[in-house]
Structure 1
Amino acid sequence: MSRRDEDRFRVRPGVPKHRGDAFINQVLRQTSKAANASGGRRGKTPGARLGRGHVAARFTGQSLSAHSRRATVKVRLVYLKQVGVRSTITHLRYIEREGVGREGEPGRAYGAATDEADLTAFEERGRGDRHQFRFIVSPEDGAELGELRTYTRHLMARMEADLGTRLYWVAVDHWNTDNPHTHVVLRGKDDTGRDLIIAQAYLTRGLRERAAELATEWLGPRTEQEIQRTLVREVEQDRWTSLDRTLQRESTDGLVHVEHFNEPRLHRQRELLIGRLQRLQRMELASEPQTGTWVVHVEAEPTLRAMGERGDILRTMQRAMGGRRRELAVFQPGEDGRALVGRVAAKGLADELYDKGYLIVDGTDGKAHYVALPPRAELESYPTGGIVEVKGAVGTRAADKTIAALAVEGVYRTDHHLAIAQGQATPDRDPHEVVAAHVRRLEALRRAGIVERVTEGLWRVPADLPERGRQYDAHRLDGGVAVELKSHLPIERQARLIGATWLDQQLIGGGKGLGDLGFGVEAKDALRQRADFLAEQGLAEHRGQRVLLARNLLATLRGRELTQAAKNIAAETGLEHRPVADGQRVTGIYRRSVLLASGRYAMLDDGMGFSLVPWKPVIEQRLGQQLAAMVRGGGVSWDVGRQRGPAI
């Protein structure tokens, strides 16, 4: 192409191929990415005119100064189809949970015109919404505001004026942290019923500046003494501070020149900024290659942010453990293949905006462990005082190796395995329980499409089962941890009741893994009480320092507990109990679940009688529906409806 042709060349954009919401959604996603990269600065965001509030964002914060109150606003845009239908009600239940009120009471949701918001109705009205906004608003010195509820209502009224539409929202105030804050859930619809699109600049900056303006109007500007007191504390703090942000802004080509601190806008902070640089130098996060010129290392920000998070974690653990002396540790998946077993000492949300929870586990090793739960984990699944097992690093399972070794020409038989297990039986090793555990593993792998059940007790397995099983576990953990509830009952309650408990499993295993400190000692004491109780029931015998357990102990305890539970249900409902035999197919309407010491069971009602079948989380959404189940070796596979179909 000649230069003359190049001069005549003009780009002529065509009509977008994607019209309507699909195209707009793509534009908004790219705009969001660009805005995040620019930090929402004025005039720096491509597509800044997209969405409501882009005009207001140009004028917010004009009354703010260095003496204004500060506010933090965290925003999350949630696409409801991506997170699931239960996301809204789960989040609302989290923020209204026990202990977040000013006096330790449960949180109370409110709205623009009511002090008692109906969360169920709010969730139902927004069930068809495409998206939803979730905010956390934390004004500086929020405790001095007195009434966060009134403050939030004024803030949302200003937001309505900025966006030019009525907003539909609920909020819950939290007073359980050092910084009182408010959770706001905002529907993604405007007052005309159309999707509510808010400009990125308003979300990243405008709303925060409105919150700061309101706090300043209510409390007045900060005094010089207040500002200096805050900055003095920051000099020695092991976290990312406003002083660090100032140093970051004032750096030129990676260098901080102390002479710039003599400028009028920084003169009052001069000594504090130099003190912060010296603190960073002692932490090996900064250096002074020549007098008056400093280099803040690139790893300073991520290191300080990580230190701040770890400090928050340690303070949380210390509060959770109270006066109990424990070595504190953060559970790190991937360090080794060992599982952490212990008691849930406390639980909560590490990230309240994204509903990411944590557990404080008082381990049998005598340590207290902080466990970050994977996304969407239900805190309600892990009761305080219950026993859990936490696994991180993914290795090859011994069960997978055993199944592969026993398979003949790719076929594993339970009767063959049972015969071998009976030949290797010991008083603390029930052959039937051993085989049942392997069958449960096979059921999980079958649902993943790795193995195939040919018929009852007959499985077709691949030659590389151990490796494929390892890959399956790694995918399921998704780089995080897997937490399994071993018992919902504290060990104190397990010591003297009929049922197959976690303590019984420890007795069968000889109490291996129980340490001589902390919860390990408490578990050993509970084991001695459990052994005495089993002896009273004729299910154990003391011989010197040894305890001989009855054969099939777990099955016997489980059977006795199920029998008693069935009697209670029969007396309550008038239905006849139909015991379930191994290998039997059971059908009926799922009426309710029954939580026992031996585990959780589903009650299936066939109209004339009922059966108790091992429960699985997947059926809970099918309460009141017709289900079918096949019970095998203590495990169960569930089918939907009366017809045979894909197992769940």
Structure 2
Amino acid sequence: MNDTRDRSLEERFQPEAGPPGHRGQSLVTQVLRQAGKAGGRRRPGAHRPGAGLGRGHVAARFVAGSSPRSRRVTIKTRLVNLRQSGRRSVSTHLRYIEREGVGREDEPGQAYDPMTDRADLEAFEARGRDDRHQFRLIVSPEDADSLEELRTFTRHLMERVAGDLGTRLDWVAVDHWNTDNPHTHIVLRGKDETGRDLIIARDYIAQGMRHRACELATEWLGPRTEREIRQGLQREVGQDRWTGLDRELLRQRQADGIRLQRLAQHPRRQPLIGRLQHLERLGLARELRPGHWHIDDRAERTLRAMGERGDIVRTMQRAMSGMQRELSILEPGSDQVVVGRLAAKGLAGEAHDRVYLVIDGVDGKAHHLRLPAGADPADYPADAVIEARASQAPSVVDRRVVSLAVEGLYHREHHRTLLAREDGLSGESQGLLDAHERRLEALRRAGIVERTDEGSWRVPADLVERGQQYDARRTGGLSVAVRSPLSIERQIGANGATWLDTQLIAGGQAISDRGFGAEVRAALHRRTGWLVERGLAERRGARTLFARNLLATLRERELAATARDIEARTGLQHHPLVDGKPASGIYRRRIELASGRYALLDDGLGFSLVPWRPVIEPRLGQRLTARVQGAHVTWQIGRSRGPAIS
């Protein structure tokens, strides 16, 4: 049996001359390809448990390490569990990497794949709908500007990776030229050519893929010259981030620290000494005695944080396009409230799915903030007016529930009786009761309260504190809302209730006379003139009087005009909302108005425009029932009774 197997292997690996210039099909590559398919077996003496499991573990041993003269390429790889992150994260990431302004001439990015220059992202997403996981890579050659085509480089690299892994790969990529270091985003499906889960050895992810990229870049551009090596090291000496020199210092560190006499023959001796002196200035290293250094244990963590902060500052400076602004980073729990124009958005660190926003604030500053995990950049339009709160105040509903609880029990009917006794049971009261029930159901799912009966909940004495902690975990300590999807320029002449109108009624408080604040003040003056021309405001000397119920009037006018336009285009009849009465229909689309976002419900004969809420967006195309009571909207799935979703 063994003889038969040996003969089979010999026949499979008969060397043959390939066509001139043909890469990736040499005998060594074929051996690696077939060995990679075997996977699963761990080599004796592997330095890390599990490092040799998966495809590419053999290639990781054979691929030569980078020499000092090799071209340098950084590769960041992230394994995304799609069952945990959700399918929405795939479409979010694909839209992000193809966003506006990432091309060479600030044009949108263009996705490509192994065969075509215009990849079909919808088809790619559909193919991976049942995938368990996905690989997201960022490939950043140090000399990307010198490469003729990042696209061609990426295809050659992925061809070599496929050879090492022993399978065809299904991937799409987009080149980004909007940063100091041009780079390529690659999204790789977690399936091999047979449809099985693609498992890549950790050694190959950590080292093998990068060595392949360095090898390819060196072939294209030639080895680095001594001058380029010296210049690169000199740049690293004074950088406030984690560098290759820091990694080398840690490799040289022993139990008694770093002794310079041990570095006497080291080829990077002078840059390493210069780096130690820079770390000393940062308070991360000290010279215990001449030639004997100690590096702080927190050096790596601190330098990585400093590098991240430097990236944030550079991101903010690019977003401001040369406009002078004081820069501020909005941290959770800082009790700050920021309102302003959305100047830029993206993914923090680019390897992660944490959305960042840069807000040009009405306070004259530029603010950077990170949204909670899972946030979709598409929910925040460019130039929209954004409000962000970095404090997590206790819930008003939680406070009220605790005050109404009797012996640890909150009863909906008891609350209803109290409301009726105070001012009669109105639509506002019904909406308030529904809001309490929705909140309690959310806390029940979080294991904080217990439902004992229909309309009754057992609540802990520390509900307010536990509810506050729950909200902080859910939102990441930040609350971010779109106050208007329109830029202030478009709001000036908008036929609706705009954010500018709310500022006029409030007297334009807390608006600086610098930066974006100055632009808002000018826009408020022009908006006032627009309202005066339409009889909705009147100037009396230095004072301006606004029409009673200005916001409601503007909102009703815009909704009526929008409804007439939809009627003319569709032939459907508009069914205006009646307070307290349900409106049902298929949720067709979201409509962006100056007065806010509305959902169009189509019942086949007519339609209704209902204030939109984020929770209904996943229900697009489904039948929903909405009940508006005052300022509150309650949504239900289906025609009649069903689970409330807001």
TM range (shorter): 0.7 to 0.9
Task: For residue 607 of structure 1, report the CA deviation from its aligned partner.
Answer: 2.0
Q: CA distance change for structure 1 residues 647 and 571 in 2, over 3 Å: closer, same or farther?
A: same
1:60 matches 2:59: no
Work out whether 1:448 is the aligned partner of 2:442.
Answer: yes
Instruction: List aligned pairs for 1:571-590, cutoff 5 A.
Output: 571-590=568-587
Q: Provide the C-alpha distance between the structure 2 equivalents of 1:485 and 1:42, rounded to a whole number of angstroms.
A: 56
Letter in 1 for 2:524: L
- Trace 1:349-498 onto structure 2 (pairs within 5 A): 349-397=347-395, 411=415, 442=436, 445=439, 448-449=442-443, 466-467=464-465, 469-477=467-475, 479-498=476-495
Contact kept? 1:383, 1:488, Cα under 8 Å: yes
1:260 paired residue number: 262
Residue in 2 that maps onto 1:231: 233
What's the counterpart of residue 319 of structure 1?
318
CA contact (8 A) 1:42 1:58 kept: no
* Displacement after TM superposition at 1:393 (Å): 2.1
* Partner SS, residue 72 of structure 1: strand
Q: What secondary structure sits across from 2:348 in the alignment? A: strand
8 Å CA contact retained: 1:132, 1:187: yes
The alignment partner of 2:110 has SS state of coil
Are 2:188 and 1:186 aligned? yes
Q: 1:158 aligns with which of 157, 160, 163?
A: 160
Amino acid across the alignment from 1:202: Y
What is aligned with 1:147? Answer: 149
Q: 1:310/1:440 Cα in 2 relative to 1: closer, same or farther (>3 Å)?
A: farther
Task: Specify whether residues 517 and 452 from structure 1 end up closer, same or farther in structure 2 by C-alpha distance, changes over 3 A only.
Answer: farther
The amino acid of 1:551's aligned partner reads R
Partners of 1:403 and 1:438 within 8 A in 2: no
CA contact 1:71–1:137 (8 Å) conserved in 2: yes
Q: Which residue of 1 aligns with 2:532?
A: 535
Looking at structure 1, the residues matched to 384 and 44 of structure 2 have their Cα atoms a distance apart, in angstroms, of 48
Query: Which of 516, 520, 524 is the equivalent residue of 1:519?
Result: 516
The Cα of 1:390 is off from its aligned counterpart by 0.7
Equivalent residue, structure 2, for 1:299: 298
User: Aligned AA for 2:368?
Assistant: Y
In 1, Cα distance between equivalents of 2:44 and 2:364: 50
Give the alignment of 1:495-514 within 5 angstroms. Answer: 495-514=492-511
| 1:411 counterpart SS class | helix
TM superposition shift of 1:474: 2.0
C-alpha spacing 1:436/1:515, structure 2 compared with 1 (3 Å): farther
Letter in 1 for 2:599: A
Matched, 1:558 2:558: no
Distance 1:548 1:461 in 2: 50
Flag the 1:158–1:42 CA change in 2: closer, same or farther, 3 A: farther
One-letter code aligned to 2:95:
R
Pairing 1:272–2:276 present: no
User: Deviation of residue 143 (structure 1)?
Assistant: 1.6
Partner of 2:210: 208
Of stretches 479-488 and 389-398 in structure 1, the one that deviates more from structure 2 is 389-398
**Residues 232 and 472 of structure 1: CA distance in aligned 2, closer, same or farther (over 3 Å):** closer
Within a 5 Å distance, the mapping from 1:242-261 to structure 2 comes to: 242-253=244-255, 255-261=257-263
Does 2:101 correspond to 1:103?
Answer: no
Query: Structure 1's 645 and 432: CA in aligned 2 closer, same or farther, altered over 3 A?
Result: closer
**Match of 1:572, as an amino acid?**
R
Q: Is the 8 A contact 2:111 2:118 kept in 1?
A: yes
Q: Could you tell me how far 1:488 is from its partner in structure 2?
A: 0.6
CA distance in 2, matches of 1:399, 1:293: 61
Check whether the contact 1:317–1:328 (CA below 8 A) recurs between aligned residues: yes
Change (3 A) 1:599 1:41: farther
From the superposition, tell whether residues 468 and 232 of structure 1 become closer, same or farther in structure 2 (CA, over 3 Å): closer
Aligned length in residues: 591
SS of equivalent residue, structure 1 residue 92: helix
Structure 2 distance, partners of 1:58, 1:104, is 41
What secondary structure does 1:351 align onto?
coil
Give the whole-Å Cα distance in 1 for the aligned partners of 2:495 and 2:464: 37
C-alpha contact 1:406 1:417 (8 A) present in aligned 2? no
- Displacement after TM superposition at 1:554 (Å): 1.9
**In structure 2, do the counterparts of structure 1 residues 601 and 294 end up closer, same or farther at CA, with 3 Å as the change threshold?**
same
Q: 3-state DSSP class of the match of 1:44?
A: coil
Q: In 2, distance between residues paired with 1:232 and 1:534?
A: 61
- The alpha carbon displacement at 1:525 in A equals 2.7
Q: Which amino acid aligns with 2:214?
A: A
Report the Cα distance in structure 2 between the residues aligned to 1:283 and 1:60, rounded to whole angstroms.
38
CA distance in 2, matches of 1:101, 1:513: 38
Partner AA of 1:620 in structure 2: E
For 1:41 and 1:316, the matched residues in 2 are separated by 46
Letter in 1 for 2:439: L
Q: CA deviation at 1:177?
A: 1.6
**Residue 59 of structure 1 aligns to which amino acid in structure 2?**
F
Q: TM-score, normalised to structure 1's length?
A: 0.84
Q: 1:482-536 CA deviation, whole Å, 9 max, x = no partner? A: 2111101112222232212112222232322223322223223322333333333
Q: CA shift at 1:56, angstroms?
A: 1.0
The Cα of 1:438 is off from its aligned counterpart by: 6.5
The one-letter code sitting in structure 1 at the alignment partner of 2:51 is: A
Q: Kindly, what percent of the aligned residue pairs are identical?
A: 58
Provide the alpha-carbon RMSD of the alignment.
Answer: 3.2
Paired with 1:172 and 1:603, the residues of 2 have a C-alpha distance of 35
Contact persistence 1:41–1:201 (CA under 8 A):
no
The whole-number CA distance in structure 2 between the counterparts of 1:144 and 1:42 is: 41
Cα-to-partner distance string for 1:282-315 (whole Å, 9 max, x where unaligned): 2222111111101111222222221111112112
Which whole-Å CA distance do the structure 1 matches of 2:44 and 2:595 have between them? 58
Contact 2:392 2:477 in 1 (8 A): no
Deviation of the 1:621 alpha carbon: 2.9
- After superposition, the Cα gap between the structure-2 partners of 1:184 and 1:488, relative to the gap in structure 1 and judged at 3 Å, is same
- Following the alignment from structure 1 to structure 2, what is the Cα–Cα distance between the partners of residues 240 and 628? 54
Amino acid aligned to 1:606: D
- Which amino acid counterpart does residue 61 of structure 1 have in structure 2? A
SS of 1:448 mapped into structure 2: helix
TM, length-normalised to structure 2: 0.84
SS at match of 2:129: coil
Range with greater deviation from structure 2 (577-586 or 142-151): 142-151
- Seen in structure 2, the aligned counterparts of structure 1 residues 472 and 276 have a Cα distance that, compared at 3 Å, is closer
**Structure 2 segments unaligned to the other structure (5+ residues):** 1-38
| Structure 1 unaligned regions, length at least 5 | 1-30, 421-430
Deviations 1:532-565, CA, capped at 9 Å, x for gaps: 3333333333344333333332222211111111
Give the Å deviation of 1:467. 4.4
